Amino acid sequence: MKKRIRFIAGGLLIVGLLGYLVVSGFNQNTMVYYKTVSEVKAEAEDLYGKGVRLGGIVVEGSLKQTSKTLDYSFTIADEGGEIQVRYHGVLPDIFKEGNDVLVEGKAHPEGYFEANHVFTKCPSKYEGEVYEDRKVGN
């Protein structure tokens, strides 16, 4: 009888811990894919120091690299505003101004966003050379 009570108590403890992990995971922004620039600017005070995913378009002419280091700054924008992003690391190969970007990091009270990761959106259309219909073997 004692073994059965221990087994049931252990099972309930495991189920309880798994339930807690699931619920706490949902409370840590796992349900939000990313925030827009407008949302981050509107919620700035609440977001300081918290991990955020931020999406927008890289503003033309805003990309700057600090004297041959991996320190970059660029501005991303949407219809509601723009925010400067600072990043240290290697940028993705297809990163360029005018393209959609997703950055993960933290908003700072000084008004910029410190990114830990930078992701670019893959182009949805690939352009290739158009060939005329050709018959094989004349």
Q: Please tell me the predicted confidence (pLDDT) of residue 63.
A: 93
CA geometry: angle 73, 76, 78, nearest 5 deg: 170
Q: Is 61's pLDDT higher than 60?
A: yes
pLDDT digit string (tens) for 94-131? 898 999 999 999 888 888 999 999 998 776 555 555 54
Residue 3 pLDDT > 50, yes or no? yes
- 73 or 6, higher pLDDT: 73
Predicted local distance difference test score (pLDDT) of residue 21: 72
The correct CATH number of 33-120 out of 3.20.20.150, 2.40.50.140, 3.40.50.300, 1.10.287.110 is 2.40.50.140
SS3 96: coil
